[in-house]
Amino acid sequence: MTDQKAVVVALSGCSSSGKTTLARLLRDIFPNTFILHEDDFYRAEEELPSKNGLLDWDCPQAINIPDMEKALTHIRTSGTFPPFVDSKEDQNSVGACPVSTAKIAALQAKVAAWLRPPSPGHAVFASGLRLCLFDGFLLYCSEMQAAMRLIDVKLFLTVSRARATQRREARDGYVTLEGFWKDPPGYVDAVVWPNYADAHGWLFEGRHVEGPLDRGVLSENGILAQEGDELDVDMEKTLEWAVDTVMAELERRLKQ
């Protein structure tokens, strides 16, 4: 493993695919872990583009990409949360935890055992390495190529249009630089889903984002997703997969 101070694990996928919930659960399971949210790099509201007559919070132009890359570089070299990032995302609710306390406890015990010598996890974190979980709805697209090179482990979560719409419309809103944003009626259909399809179609066979993932493209770009073609995988199964994947990837990096 290189001498970088933190490993960046990205959790990406459509808005309301479960990324933030997963990030918070993983933070409770792995040691020396903190979360960086892409949403903390939104530009000011007056700088946002529009789409179909609505403010567009869900496109690359809405994100201050240079500041995001600066934050990722700081994390990798210092192992600390960037002091210049004013995080508001943790003020947003993600609702009730969809994973049982028994499952969380079992996974915490699994990771704790992996961390004890002579298990591989002990060597992974022996040097004080930290883990940054990078939660973002738009991390694997052409505009983010430079940022992708600053990500060590890339996880991708799928979701159906129906599930994403139901979850997004159930939210109270979002804390922003200016105060608070509540989606106007029809926002998912007019902005969120079309943008998701445009940015992520390249990861799916035939660019159909409710069809099978293109496993060859994922492999070529080092992007990891759950096996099978089911889009709406329950969070307990997703969490278990993510824990196993992060452990395996950290072990693999140790051998490099």
In whole angstroms, give the CA distance from residue 26 to residue 58. Answer: 25
The closest of 175, 189, 197 to 45, measured between CA atoms, is 175
- What pLDDT digit, counting tens, does each position of 180-222 carry? 677 888 999 999 999 999 999 999 999 999 999 999 999 999 9
Give pLDDT, residue 171: 76
In sequence order, the 6+-apart residues with CB closer than 8 A to the CB of 126 are none
Centroid of chain to Cα 106? 23
Is beta strand 153-157 parallel, antiparallel or unpaired with respect to 223-224?
Answer: parallel
Measured in degrees and rounded to the nearest 5, phi and psi for residue 235 equal -70, -30
Q: Domains (ranges, CATH) in the chain?
A: 6-200+227-254 (3.40.50.300)
Residue burial 38-48, b: 16+ Cβ < 10 Å; e: rest: bbbbbbeeeeb
Q: Which long-range contacts (CB under 8 A, 24 or more apart) does 215-221 make?
A: 218/156, 221/140, 221/148, 221/154
In whole angstroms, give the CA distance from residue 159 to residue 231. Answer: 5
* 104, two tokens: 């969380």
Q: Contact 246/3 with Cβ under 8 angstroms?
A: no
* 144, two tokens: 């983010």
Give pLDDT, residue 220: 98
Tell if the pTM clears 0.75, that is, is over it.
yes
- What pLDDT digit, counting tens, does each position of 91-125 carry? 666 667 899 999 999 999 999 999 999 998 999 88
Per-chain mean pLDDT for the chain? 92
Instruction: Indicate if the pLDDT at residue 87 is higher than 90.
Output: no
Give pLDDT, residue 111: 97
Q: Contact 215/156 with Cβ under 8 angstroms?
A: no
In whole angstroms, give the CA distance from residue 193 to residue 165. Answer: 8
